Amino acid sequence: MPIKTQSDLPAKEILEKENIFVMDESRATHQDIRVIEIGILNLMPLKEDTELQLLRSLSNTPLQINVTFITVSSHESKNTSMSHLNKFYETFDGVKNRYFDGLIITGAPVEKMEFEEVDYWKEMCDIFEWTKTHVTSTMHLCWGAQAGLYYHYGLKKHLLDKKVFGVFEHHVMNRKVPLVRGFDDYFMAPHSRHTEVRAEDIRKIPDLTILAESDEAGVFLAIADEGRRIFVMGHPEYDRVTLDKEYKRDKEKGLPIDLPVNYYPDDDDTKKPRLEWRSHGNILYSNWLNYYVYQTTPYEFIDTAEIVGK
């Protein structure tokens, strides 16, 4: 799939080296094709890493995607330069009058804080409300999933005794739902979090359906409102070395951190980590784009900016 990005986005060169088709604005304007508009609300501190991971994850479909990176204006990023943000990102105020086929809300390093203590929580609430009328399907990742479940359904997160950290086995709960079409009965996926939304709380909400969970890591995937809202508790977009970087970063800081589970061969952190989740991560994003974004967005919504569902 061609991903349409700005020609000088740093991730573009890396993706092209991986033989991922990335199209610049000049070439895209010469194609007569229905472009899928995807917004990415990037709340992660290392934004350029997340850009690369998500663009790579969105690349396994024949659809042409126009990506708009979005940032909150009520928080100042400390790990990404202002020049990068000013050049490649829009604020929510800058896009709130636009309509998107899909939106991805990433995780954020604020999970130990109460939602209301996060300095951009009010803006997040505005964004969650805006998605009801301006986005066909929203995919929430990690903290973004916990925040979305709290805002839309009042579900609280709970602090874990020990960080869920590593690559865990999950089983598919409802194979008839298109989001998990093509999944094996059991699959691997990374987690890196100190909190959780409990499965029993999710099951009390009639609108929510759990699609995959782990005996060790808990819920991985849930869906609501016929795919208008999707909640992913882990990080299927992570690349091979993301957990390795997190582990060694915390270890160097002297923070309490265990080896990531099922990650290093023989639990030896000097060895190259195993990559065991890429195929199912690709299927997840491809199914989302196909069944809940492209096949669902009414043509009139794109051409006349009518409210979703009208």
Conformational region of residue 104, where left means phi above 0, alpha means psi within -120 to 50, and beta covers everything else: beta
Is 240 annotated in some ligand binding site?
no
Q: Which residues of 59-91 are buried (b: 16+ CB within 10 A; e: fewer)?
A: bbbebbbbbbbbbbeebebeebeeebbeebbbe
Catalytic residue, from 152, 170, 191, 235: name it.
Answer: 235
Surface-to-core class of residue 55, CB atoms within 10 Å of its CB (0-12 exposed, 13-18 middle, 19+ buried): buried
Residue 125 is among the residues annotated as catalytic for this protein:
no
DSSP secondary structure string for all residues of 255-279: ---PPPBTTSGGG-TTSPPP--SHH
Identify whether 13 is a catalytic site residue.
no
Q: Specify the residue for token string 């602090």.
A: 159
Is 59 labeled as ligand-binding? no
Q: Could you give the CA distance from residue 48 to residue 9 in angstroms, rounded to a whole number?
A: 9
193 is in an annotated binding site: no
Q: What's the rounded Cα separation, in Å, for the pair 108 and 75?
A: 12
37, 48, 213, 237: the active-site residue: 237
> Of 48, 111, 134, 142, which residue is the catalytic one?
142
Q: Are 157 and 218 in contact (CB under 8 A)?
A: no
Which residue numbers belong to the known binding site for substrate?
A: 163, 192, 249
Which residue numbers belong to the known binding site?
A: 163, 192, 249
Catalytically annotated residues: 142, 235, 237
